[in-house]
Amino acid sequence: MNMPRNKFTIAAAFITLAAGFIFMAGYAANAPVPPAVIGVVDLEKVYNELDSRSDLMQRIEEMQTRMAEDASSMQEELEMLSAELESLSPGSKAMIEMNDQAISISGKLRAFETYGALLIERERAADLRDSYDRIRTEAGKLSEIMGIDLVLLNDSIPMVDLADAAGTLQQISARRVLWASRTLDITEELIERLNGQDG
């Protein structure tokens, strides 16, 4: 006698649960989703105003100066040998030895200049990569503090250089931000945090 009543009770419970799930799903679908908070950064400005980069640029300039002085010394030595070569008898033993010496110095000079250029370029590349990693990490920390969901590079700031039509179009097409509100620009805050770490 109780079996039909139990089946009815179970069926009513299932129907109630299903109705509840449907109601909650409809509510969730219609509930307003808050818009994402987006921040923008002028990456070029951040790079240019990093204290750590200005120190490195000074070290690179000093390195370039020392290399230029060394190259100049080798160049002067090479010029002196060339002048002496003109005073020697063609085909003499002294001329052959001095000519070999001049060739050796010339090869060293070219190798030194090539190595110096590669060394400086490597330092600059390493600086750009390390600075980018620091900027990205600190932008993430600052975004958490400010409640920002996404940070974009504001490439709408620099002017488009006038070139031919294809070149100008290429510059415009490479951009990703057409306009951004300055109220969400976190460039200055990011520079301040990054430079504060160096102090």
144 and 154 in a single domain? The answer is: yes
Tell me, yes or no, whether 91 and 189 share the same domain: yes
- Please report the pLDDT score of residue 59 as a whole number: 84
Q: Contact 51/195 with Cβ under 8 angstroms?
A: yes
User: What is the extent of the structural domain holding 73?
Assistant: 34-198
Q: What is the pLDDT of residue 99?
A: 79
| Type of residue found at 111 | A
Number of domains in the chain: 2
**Per-residue model confidence (pLDDT) at position 198:** 59
Residue 41: closest CA among 151, 196, 176, 158 = 151
87 and 13 inside one domain: no
> pLDDT tens digits, the chain, 199 residues: what are they?
445 556 667 666 667 766 666 666 665 556 677 788 889 999 889 988 998 877 778 888 888 888 888 888 888 888 887 777 777 777 777 777 877 888 888 888 888 888 888 888 888 888 889 999 999 999 999 999 999 999 998 887 777 777 778 888 888 888 788 877 767 889 999 999 999 875 5
Contact 187, 44 (CB under 8 A): no
The CATH number covering residue 85 comes to: 3.30.910.20
pTM strictly above 0.85: no
Same structural domain, 90 and 180: yes
How confident is the model at residue 1, as a pLDDT? 46
Q: Which of 129, 144, 124, 123 is nearest to 189 (CA)?
A: 144
Check whether residue 152 and residue 175 sit in a common domain: yes
Whether residue 167 sits in one domain with residue 157? yes
Helix (H), strand (E), coil (C) string for the chain: CHHHHHHHHHHHHHHHHHHHHHHHHHHHHHCCCCCCCEEEECHHHHHHCCHHHHHHHHHHHHHHHHHHHHHHHHHHHHHHHHHHHHHCCCCCHHHHHHHHHHHHHHHHHHHHHHHHHHHHHHHHHHHHHHHHHHHHHHHHHHHHHHCCCEEEECCCCCCCCCCCHHHHHHHHHCCCCCCCCHHHECHHHHHHHHHHHHC
pLDDT for 63 equals 84
Q: Check residue 155 and give its pLDDT.
A: 81
